[in-house]
Structure 1
Amino acid sequence: MSGGGGGGGYKLRCSLPGHELDVRGLARCQLPAEGFVSVSRDRSARLWVPDSPNRGFVELHRMSGHSNFVSSVCIIPSSDTYPRGLVATGGNDHNICVFSLDNPTPLYVLKGHKNTVCSLSTGKFGTLLSGSWDTTAKVWLNEKCMMTLQGHTAAVWAVKILPEQGLMLTGSADKSIKLWKAGHCEKTFTGHEDCVRGLATISNTEFLSCSNDATVRRWLITGECLQIYYGHTNYIYSICIFANCQDFVTTGEDRSVRIWRKGECTQTITLPAQSVWCCCVLDGDDLVVGSSDGIIRVFTESPDRMASTEEIQAFEDELSQATIDPKTGDLGDIKIEELPGKEHLDEPGTKEGQTRLINDGGKVEAYQWNMSEARWMKIGDVVGSSGATQQTSGKVLFEGKEYDYVFTIDVNESGPSHKLPYNLADDPWLVAYNFLQKNDLNPSFLDQVAKFIIENTVGLVPASTNSGLADPFTGGGRYIPGDSSGSASGADPFTGGNRYVPGSTSQPIYPGAAADPFTGRNAYRSASAQVPNLYFPKKEPVTFDQANPAQILGKLKELNNAAPEEQKMPEEDLMQLDKLLSVAANPSGETATAQQLDTLWKAINWPEEIVFPALDVLRLSIKNPTVNETFCSEKEGSQFSSYLLRLMRPSGKQANQLLALRTLCNCFSQEPGKRLMMSQRDTVISQAVGLKGVSNKNMHIALATLTLNYAICLHSVSDLEGKAQCLSVISTVIENVQDLEAAFRLLVALGTVISDDANAAQLAKSLGVDSQIKKYMSVSEPAKVNECCRLILNLL
């Protein structure tokens, strides 16, 4: 151990045996004070509490519920129902188990991931964020999956919910970090050269990440990397922030725990275990560390809590007797005959954690410089170096044991490598099974790994020269399950004046069309504040009804002359569209004829440069029951929705995008259209939200109206995931809109979603929507915006 900061640095407080296999996750409890939870490959989670008056901890109880090893844990904050909080654990069985702190069996199990749940984080109001090998992250609230975050191309190893604003971070084996806002990826951070394994938040605007590239990076959420920290010599698995929100601690595959203060590594604690998987910081800044030997160790800077001199000496003795594989650290290609003897230790080190190798009678020993104590500490014997014991035995030493072979296995090109030790007398299937279990690898690789062992242990030299082995799957020297590539490399015409404006609001096509769809008044005026439920929950869909039929028909005739020869319409067809506009003016009256419908379909298939007046006819006529049934039926609906979505693509013309959006809104006016819109909700919303950045108030109003209509449909059904999707859109779009009418419609949508649904209200708060809408409290005109905002904040 090495010192640094806080009066001599960290020293051992206690060692806690109990787990039978690797300790993979740790989380500090709120209550009991100084308690923490550990999870392990032994399939258990354990609650530890201080063992007064001793310096140690005692296992209070063991939680079980996973059918395979447990790889992640977090504490869900206290609530009225559970004042001590809850424990969430993620496992290789693809499940998340949620426990109370006083019951060993789960309260409930969250199912939905398709592979190992390898990371968990909690935020306000009980929101839970999980990351998985299935490349997704999921947001959970009260036993329900609210949304799935998709965008990474490899396992999501790290997740973190930022303190405010509903922002979330995910780190992945694809080497990237993504920032999410209400379910949408706002930014991707690149810079790490290998898998991102851990995340820690410094503030609302800064965070840290650690990686298999042996670096820590400090980021602004705007995307800038402020600093890179170097010190570890192998994969960094975890990172935690101290109470001052600036200093931090990291753990890694180089057997070390490192304490970082003011940007410098001030102390390195080496453990007698190869993989130091996890850590957490307790009150008083004591450190809890979990490692591959199944032992939890607690370190402290407080002399009152330090272990006895005898216990510390026993720890150092255990450390000195450990064996070190030079491949796991930055030890280089060791030539024993060129190493100095013990006299080299008379010279002091130059920096904290410096490693020095010496030749002690033909044996390579590793020492580490303890800056605070000004001494070299033995951290183990180096095995596998030139001239060490495997040379004489003909075998390879790995983690202190001799093997005939030690293969290097790559699961995927962006993931970590793993060592697979094997003796000829072993059962290759059992070795393959244990290897997959130990390294959290997918069981579906069992056959491939076993066959790899068999094919590479027939008539080959011992594994000390395994770097030359041909991979039977790739043809190279390293094995990538499932990759047979043979290579490991990776991987508008908006117008003004007297010209035609699509969707023009100059003249209503039937009486009452100019009425405020929210209040029933003849103009968009403030509603009386004496009626608290005037705005929401909104019951009927909002549609775009206003137009000038004569102007539309005139534009159709003009552009018909510009249409390709084979698509030009005879005068009779144009008259059919004129009649259809009359039908559209009375949606509950006349029935559209088959000829009119055929003509409309031909018109909307004009080239995109001239199709907009035909889209205006479609937008108006889709409210007619016959037209709605024809275009939105189960038979035709998929083709119709795909047509509209194609017009809405980012590279499309803005007039077409706007009219397609308005048509989608008007589809909700009849039951067939409503059913179609709900069945296509994911695709429609995803495509529509992509238009939020268009600087056009009419586009924003149409987008807000579409969101509102979805909110109206979802209000009366028990579909929390659908409501979560609506809330996500509201939170995302409201950041972009400037027009107060668009903002108002989004507020009505928000109020409609959360009315009579406590879970939806809770989720809205967790996404930070309440803080987003507070700016509308200061709006004086139109007063309906202020009134609506106030009512929503009261609900929240």
Structure 2
Amino acid sequence: MASFNSYKLRCSIPGHEMDVRGLAATVFPEGAFVSVSRDRTGRVWVPNSSSDKGFTEMHSMSGHSNFVSCVCIIAPSETYPRGLVATGGNDNNICVFSLDRPQPLFTLKGHKNTVSPLFLKKLTEHVLCLLILFQGHTAAVWAVAILPEQGLMLSGSADKTIKLWKAGRCEKTFTGHEDCVRGLAVISNTEFFSCSNDTSIRRWLVTGECVQVYYSHTNYIYSLAVFPNSQDFISTGEDRSLRIWRQGECSQTIRLPAQSVWCCCILPNGDIVVGASDGIIRVFTEAEDRMASAEDLQAFEDELSKATIDPKTGDLGDIKLEDLPGREHLNEPGNRDGQTRLIKDGQKVEAYQWSVSDGRWMKIRDVVGGSNQQTSKSVMYEGKEYDYVFSIDVNEGGPSMKLPYNVTDDPWLTAHNFLQKNDLSPMFLDQVANFIIENTKGHVVGPAQPAGGDPFTGGARYIPGSSSDTAGFGADPFTGGGAYSSAALRQTTNIYFPKTDGVTFEQANSSQIIAKLKELNGGAPQEHKLSEEVLESLERLLLSVCGLNSSEPAPTIQQINLLWKASHWPEDIVFPVLDIMRLAVRHPQVNESLCGEAEGVQLCNHLLNLMRPEGRPANQMLALRTLCNCFSGRHGRALLMAQRETVLSRAADLATVCNKNIHIALATLVLNYAGCLHLQPDLEAKAQCLSVASRALETVQDKEAVFRLLVALGTTVASDQTAQDLARSLGVSSQISKYSSVSEPSKVGECCQLLLKELQ
């Protein structure tokens, strides 16, 4: 293969707060580009002076109420000589911006599902925005391209096909990909590229023939861009890489310190721009005068070498330490650019990549989570040795925080110190401590911490909403019984969906709730202190609704009013009151009083305010659980069905919060809505359930939350052909197929298989 100049880093641009999902080179200013992100913004970047290799934000655009997922440029016209920028997002809208104002010129609203593929054309002095919803595909359309020939368009779909369209009519269908088609790039008026989740890139003739298949990526491929010569191209994907293709071969692989490399574009000067899941935009160049300084290049290499990869979720396969060679293996040159080689260094596993241009192996990351756990102190952090140094991601897309830990340490005290050092909410204490315990199993030294023990007082620890994460989901996923012991029987007899009776969060430790309430009341500002009479009243109410004291009469109107008033405590201390409320709304009298026609909207608005994305995680979780428990009474069901659109829209925003208990509560809320809508002809409501569940599955990792979302999807589509068709158009089958092989817990894989069968 011919020799080419290698691309190296030009600059890194940490401008976005979340994943960068779309990029496009602009017409104006020269050398600029636009980026869009899950942080709901679009930004225009212009190159700095020739002496500075970086870019400066020229313009920020906002107008979407949810993630922005794609962007394209509208060519200049007499009316808009600088051109326009169009963006599409998960709020189902298309926004069109000029380059001189932050708010959109206009917004196209009303699309039922996420705007992902879009294209725009200039008609006289106006702009026509079109969402590609071609009827010929059997699943969601994820990629669109316009061919130079007038009126010809391409669409790529989760149904694994590509279609050629002319004047709204499908002229040809291209088959060959074995998984979802994620990207398209035009070569000429007769050829184009496609990329897919099947890890392949294909080159097609518009007449229908696939003339070449390219393999190099080891995971999903998300985006493509073609160089001006219309032959060479670049690609990015889930294997953490940007790959540069010359004369039909992968000539260079550039690894990035981020899991998902979502998007790419090529600037007029040949520089490459990529956006990734860490929120950072990186620009690469083959021009030596635009390359980053030696210090910045070394810093990028160091950042890459310090990253870690879990072989269970990465692209290196499972690892057995005893089978790996030592450092001497790095004395042998690689066979191709980008080749990955694993070596063991004591009890550590390191990944190296061969660089043809540098003629050496470059360390790209440490590997964690293999078959052998690290057992000796070999990790250095801030000048000290530790058994473990964990990377904690508190906010999705934000920087990781380092947490050093020795097996002789108390995990709760370590978690407490970590939160204080990083100025994080103490409500993360249990989440961080449990993370440490889970990831150091078999290596804890000394007596185990008693369950529920407070590491600072030695007493019992209050955890908001404790013991109810599974809300009664046991061996039988809904009743807790063990009647179904055979996997074959479970799959033959669908015990998972439709699930029409509400799922609630029942369990609690009343004494701990009251103790925490009194503790916080003691330190509350004077104007917020509750009297002894109020505290006693709330305690009697809690005992009554939990059925722990049969001598307690039914809740009184006075007790319910005091609960409502106390629920407006300052947000940093209100969580035990919310815990009482989520238990109380299950009682028929409380349900009627708080959820009735007059008071219900106030309750709903109050809980939605506590659920706002910038709110406190404990309050978000308990507000969601309260809404779930409202479904236990007819007044609560009526209220939530009337407020469905607002409630589900606000709840969906919490899918991005890094908290499994919030995700479980969110999934339960969607499931309860799906149960109420089962056998009802309200397609718009079912469409929202499908959309929220699908969007949540993009970020939710906890298997219990995933299971409940799958049950919600199954309940929504069961016995409803129209809802099934809608789910197919959303690409639900492709989205959930990865869960069909989950064996632990078995209910996830079994439920997924039944749902896939329903959508065939």
- TM-score interval (norm. to shorter): 0.5 to 0.7
**2:176 counterpart SS class:** coil
SS in 2 for 1:331: coil
1:429 Cα deviation from its structure 2 partner: 3.8
Shift in CA distance, 203/291, structure 1 to aligned 2, threshold 3 Å: same
The answer to whether the 8 A contact 2:73-2:86 is kept is yes
Taking structure 1 as the reference length, the TM-score comes to 0.51
2:352 to 367, 375, 399: 367
Q: Is the 8 A contact 1:4 1:372 kept in 2?
A: no
Q: 2:28 aligns with which of 8, 27, 31?
A: 31
The alignment partner of 2:39 has SS state of: coil
Counterpart of 1:469 in structure 2: which amino acid? E
Q: Distance in 2 between matches of 1:221 and 1:157?
A: 19
Provide Cα deviations, 1:428-453, integer angstroms capped at 9, x if missing partner.
446869999xxx99324589979962
1:328 to partner: Cα distance: 4.3
Checking the alignment, whether the CA contact within 8 Å between 1:366 and 1:378 is kept in structure 2 is yes
**Counterpart selection for 1:332 from 301, 311, 317:** 317
The aligned residue for residue 604 of structure 1 is none
Given that residues 84 and 99 in structure 2 are in contact (C-alpha distance below 8 angstroms), is that contact kept between their aligned partners in structure 1?
yes
Deviations 1:174-222 (A, max 9, x none): 1111110000111111111111110000000100000111110000011
1:395–1:405 contact (8 Å) kept in structure 2: no
Q: CA contact under 8 A between 2:306 and 2:364: conserved in structure 1?
A: yes
Change (3 A) 1:86 1:126: farther
Note if 1:342 corresponds to 2:327: yes
SS of alignment partner, residue 87 of structure 2: strand
2:240 touches 2:256 (CA, 8 Å); kept in 1?
A: yes
Q: CA deviation at 1:83?
A: 1.1
User: Which residue number corresponds to residue 468 of structure 1?
Assistant: 743
Match of 1:50 in 2: 47
Write the deviation string for residues 519-550 of structure 1: whole angstroms up to 9, x where unpaired: xxxxxxxxxxxxxxxxxxxxxxxxxxxxxxxx
Structure-to-structure mapping, 1:266-665, within 5 angstroms? 266-389=251-374, 402=435, 426-429=661-664, 442-444=691-693, 453=704, 467-472=742-747, 475=750, 480=752, 485=754, 491=760
Q: CA RMSD in A?
A: 3.7
Is 1:222 equivalent to 2:207 in the alignment? yes
Change (3 A) 1:441 1:16: farther
The answer (yes or no) to whether the contact 1:234–1:328 under 8 Å persists in 2 is no
Residues 375 and 452 of structure 1, relative CA distance in 2, 3 Å threshold: closer
Counterpart AA for 2:743: G
Residue matched to 1:64: 62
Compared CA separation, residues 86 and 424, structure 1 to 2 (3 A):
closer
**CA distance in 1 between partners of 2:142 and 2:40 (Å):** 19
Q: Counterpart in 1 of 2:88? A: 90
* Conservation of the 8 A alpha-carbon contact between 1:249 and 1:257: yes
- CA, structure 1 residues 311+50, in 2 after alignment: closer, same or farther (shift >3 Å)? same
Q: What corresponds to 1:80 in structure 2?
A: 78
- Rate the CA distance shift 1:425–1:276 in 2: closer, same or farther, 3 A: closer
Displacement, 1:389?
Answer: 4.5
Task: Give the residue type in structure 1 aligned to 2:351.
Answer: A
CA distance in 1, matches of 2:696, 2:298: 46
* Residue equivalent to 2:518: none
Correspondence 1:202 to 2:190: no
Q: Deviations over 1:280-319 (max 9, x none)?
A: 0001110001000000000000001011000000000000
Separation (CA, whole Å) in 2 of partners of 1:442 and 1:353: 38
- In structure 1, the residue matched to 2:169 is 184
For 1:95-174, list aligned pairs within 5 A: 95-122=93-120, 142-143=127-128, 149-174=134-159
The structure number with the bigger radius of gyration is: 1
The Cα shift of 1:331 comes to: 2.1
Partner of 1:753: none
- Opposite residue 169 of structure 1, the aligned amino acid is L
Tell me, in whole angstroms, the C-alpha distance in 2 between the residues paired with 1:331 and 1:191: 26
> For 1:694-773, what aligned pairs fall within 5 Å after superposition?
none
Shift, 1:472, TM fit: 3.5
C-alpha contact (below 8 Å) 2:119/2:131 kept by paired residues: no
Gaps of 5+ in 2: 378-386, 394-399, 402-434, 440-654, 672-688, 709-740
C-alpha contact 2:347 2:375 (8 A) present in aligned 1: no
What's the CA shift for 1:374?
1.0
Q: Is the Cα contact below 8 Å between 1:281 and 1:288 reproduced in 2? A: yes
Seen in structure 2, the aligned counterparts of structure 1 residues 313 and 389 have a Cα distance that, compared at 3 Å, is same
Kindly state the Cα deviation for residue 421 of structure 1 after the two structures are TM-superposed.
Answer: 12
Q: Is the 8 A contact 1:320 1:378 kept in 2?
A: yes
CA spacing shift, 1:441–1:231, aligned 2, 3 Å = farther
| TM superposition score normalised by structure 2 | 0.54
Change (3 A) 1:431 1:383: farther
- The one-letter amino acid paired with 2:364 is I
Aligned mates of 1:4, 1:375 — CA distance in 2: 20
Secondary structure of 2:81's counterpart equals coil
Structure 2: distance between partners of 1:421 and 1:68: 11
Are the equivalent residues in 2 in contact too, given 1:169–1:177 (CA < 8 A)? yes
Counterpart code for 1:116: T
Answer yes or no: is the 8 Å Cα contact 1:21–1:292 preserved in 2.
yes
Give the direction of change, closer, same or farther, for the CA distance of 1:72–1:345 in structure 2 (3 Å limit).
same
Other structure's SS at 1:118 match? coil
Matching residue's letter, 1:364: V
Which residue of 1 is the match for residue 639 of structure 2?
none
Q: 1:425 to 1:247 in 2, by over 3 A?
A: closer
> Does the Cα contact within 8 Å between 2:122 and 2:128 map onto a contact in 1?
no
- CA distance in 2 between counterparts of 1:56 and 1:312 reads 13
Check 1:262–1:435 CA distance in 2 against 1; reply closer, same or farther (3 A cut): farther
1:442 aligned counterpart, secondary structure: helix
1:495-524 per-position Cα deviation (integer Å, ceiling 9, x unaligned) = xxxxxxxxxxxxxxxxxxxxxxxxxxxxxx
Q: Secondary structure at the match of 2:297?
A: helix
Number of residues paired by the alignment? Answer: 445
What CA distance in whole angstroms lies between the structure 2 residues aligned with 1:262 and 1:142?
A: 38
After superposition, give the CA deviation of every residue in 1:384-413 in whole Å (9 maximum; x if it has no partner): 21113599999999988958889xxxxxxx
CA deviation map 1:429-480 (0-9, x unaligned): 46869999xxx993245899799626989xxxxxxxx94224536626xxx4
Report the CA distance between 1:383 and its aligned residue.
1.7
Per the alignment, in what secondary structure is the counterpart of residue 100 of structure 2?
coil
CA distance in 2, matches of 1:435, 1:312: 47
Structure 2 SS opposite 1:115: coil
- CA shift for structure 1 position 125: 5.0
Q: 1:405 & 1:224 partners in 2: Cα distance?
A: 51
Q: Which amino acid aligns with 1:40?
A: S
Q: Contact 2:160/2:181 (CA < 8 Å) preserved in 1?
A: yes
SS of the residue 1:47 aligns to: strand
Aligned partner of residue 218 in structure 2, secondary structure: coil
Counterpart CA distance in 1 for 2:241 and 2:286 is 17
Distance 2:216 2:661 in 1: 38
Where does residue 574 of structure 2 map in the other structure?
none
